[in-house]
Structure 1
């Protein structure tokens, strides 16, 4: 996906990585009724998780804050990125 703008500079590719501790994820899964993902799956997924490097196209947002705050931060990042990229392409 990162190479898409090389082929078409009008494309804007950015990644938002929603970060949470394993404990937070386990608590959330435990709160879900009849969900396919059990605690053992969370652990295995967490073990193989690759956190993005500090690259210009990846922003990390901590999801331990409320859902509304995560949404606000994500939208802020997207709007800032789009504004800067659009100005660069003009």
Structure 2
């Protein structure tokens, strides 16, 4: 199941979870579960398409947002190993 088209679709979907923006009409409340949800989504996408570098890159971004810097660096390293420029 290493379809590039499927990987791109998943990357766009999961990127939208990660890049969720705070909206003023939401009464200044940001759901603290969003990064955890995004991390779970990236881990699921990676399990389906483990050779897609961009998924590791986005996983690194989420881990960094969660303050898990060592794990983020590992994810970024895997993204680079798979050819992603990050």
TM-score (structure 1 length as normaliser): 0.27
Q: Which has the higher helix share?
A: 2
Which has more strand, going by share of residues?
1
* Higher-Rg member (1/2): 1
Higher relative CO (Cα under 8 Å, sequence separation at least 6) belongs to 1
Calculate the TM-score normalised by the size of structure 2.
0.28
